Amino acid sequence: MAKPLFCLFLCVLVYFFPIKDSRVIANTNRQTFVSEHQLNELLSNHPSLQGAIAGVSVRSASSGELLYTYNGDTRLTPASNMKLFTAAAALTTLGKDYTFHTDLLTDGSIKWNVLAGNLYIKGKGDPTLLPENFDQFAKELKLKGIKMISGDLIGDDSWYDQVRYSIDVPWSDEAAYYGAATSALTASPDKEYDAGTIIIEVSPNEKMNKTAKVVVRPQTSIINIINKTQTVSSDVTSNIKISRGHGNNVITIEGNIPLKASNLKERIAVWEPTKYALDLLIQSLKKQDIKILGSIKVGTTPEHAELLLSHQSMSLSELLIPFMKLSNNGHGELLIKEMGKVFKGNGSWEDGLEVEQVALTTLGIRMQEIEIRDGSGISHMNLVPANEITALLYHAKQMDWFPTFEASLPIAGNTDKMIGGTLRKRMKNVALKDNVKAKTGTLTNVSSLSGFINANNGETFIFSILLNHLKDEASGKQIEEQIIKILANNEI
């Protein structure tokens, strides 16, 4: 049924959202965009752009008219600006009220406080499962009278395929929180919802020459910590390094930490997030004195298994906050796989990206001009023209889900992490603070910023700035802010 359902979905989208040309090209009779000379001067002569490539597009938010373009049709790497496309596609297909479910099932029955059979935990893509959610599962099992499980405890991640990383993720990113593996059954350490990661906190020992103190949150038995640190005198510079082995969960912490140093906190991705989630459930069962007589393993849930408990995630509209404001890569990849699962019956990047492309076409995007490799923007092989990003934002503005989309964008200068997001420490001056809502993007040699700005004259502009082949991404941020200041002061 998956393919007929997908075809029906495609037809409905095209019928109700007819394709329009996303390029609203300005004509010779338009009023002069007075920022044009300043922008050309900056983009042509800035020292950090010599040998680099800049793509800039500016539209009127009210009409969609293309007011300014500089290499606007040149395909460039967007970094995390790719998340704009993922969010728009997910809202178009799944809808803002969509939720993820995690189920506990059994192929047995409860007799005399014993679950006579296997217990399955079936993940369906929820990236927001926290340790307390596993605790709640265990408490509810105990309320059902279960004190022992005679069979096995089985983690089921078959909702998605078994490909853990998008096609262009280098192995050197595997241990980084932003490169965490994707699984239908996973867990997050806290309410920033970096699924498939743990938090490691390193603090100095009270005594000199002793190893530093290491705390892992949440506690899990799937990792092995090798502590090669030393607490040194306060006049020595800290050089703590945390690394995880390729293809394993051996985490090495090495270096010196001064006696009076502040705690160092770092997020590390785990190898095999399914086993991570399974381990958290085991710990929760132990807290409730629920014993497992069988083995612990990864497998699939039989069709005849009966539902015992189910946990429902926050809505997609809520999930977009950490996804967009904190630029959470894992959420982007899960959303791609979820679109593939729901509309094509297969939770893979290939099928999910196909669904995304159909959705974006209905939003007026020229897919023949774009190369999309993932949902997060972590790939250097993603290619998008700046004009297509501003076209996306203009067409998104016409959709009924736009308030949800807009609310997910980082807001310049707002110091609240879940409001300002990745822009909370940028553009704090009076003219720009709270007047720029935009998605940031950073990769090695790449910086990007796309969104909306309320200019001093009261007009709102849609903009996209894509900077590639930079020697220093920090200089890219400075250039972006110079462009934003020019737009803020524009008078038409």
Asked whether the bond before 4 is cis by omega within 30 degrees of 0, the reply is no
DSSP strand E in 36-190: where?
53-60, 66-70, 75-76, 101-106, 109-111, 114-116, 119-123, 148-149, 153-156
SS3 23: coil
Task: Measure the CA–CA gap between 169 and 188, rounded to whole angstroms.
Answer: 21
Provide the angle, in degrees to the nearest 10, between the axes of the packed helices 82-93 and 386-396.
30
Place of tokens 């290619």: 383
Q: Find the largest Cα–Cα distance for the chain.
A: 83
Catalytic residue from among 35, 57, 80, 158: 80
Catalytic residue from among 57, 60, 83, 313: 83
- 8 Å CB contact between 246 and 176: no
Phi, psi of 91 (to 5 degrees): -65, -35
Give the Å distances, CA to CA, from 337 to 83, 207, 283, 366.
14, 49, 29, 22
Catalytic residue from among 22, 327, 447, 448: 327
Task: Give which of 192, 198, 330, 163 is closest to 277, Cα–Cα.
Answer: 198
SS3 390: helix
Is 44 one of the catalytic residues?
Answer: no
- 8 Å CB contact between 66 and 21: no
Is 262 one of the catalytic residues?
Answer: no
Is 80 one of the catalytic residues?
Answer: yes
Catalytically active residues, by annotation: 80, 83, 327
